[in-house]
Amino acid sequence: MTERHGQHFLQIPGPSPVPERVLRAMNKQVIDHRGPEFQLLGEEVLAGCKSVFKTSGPVVIYPSSGTGAWEAAIVNTLSPGDKVLMAETGHFSTLWRQMAAKWGLDADFMPGDWRRGADPVAIEAKLAEDRSHAIKAVMVVHNETSTGVTSRIGEIRTAIDRTGHPALLLVDTISSLGSVDYRHDEWGVDVTISCSQKGLMLPPGLGFTAISDKALAASKTNKFPRSYWDWQEMLKPNAAGFFPYTPATTLLYGLREAIAMLLEEGLDQVFERHHRLAAATRAAVRAWGLEVLCEEPSEYSPVLTAVLTPPGHDADHFRNVVLEKYNMSLGTGLNKLAGKVFRIGHLGQCNELVLMAALSGVEMGLSAAGIPHRAGGVMAAMAELESRDGTNASPLLKLAAG
The β-bridge relationship of strands 291-292 and 135-141 is unpaired
Residue 159: alpha-carbon gap to chain centroid: 23
CA 245 – CA 227 distance, rounded (Å): 11
Q: Is 24 annotated as a binding residue?
A: no
Rama region for 348: left / alpha / beta (φ>0; ψ in -120 to 50; rest): left
Feature table: binding site: 343
Feature table: binding site for substrate: 343
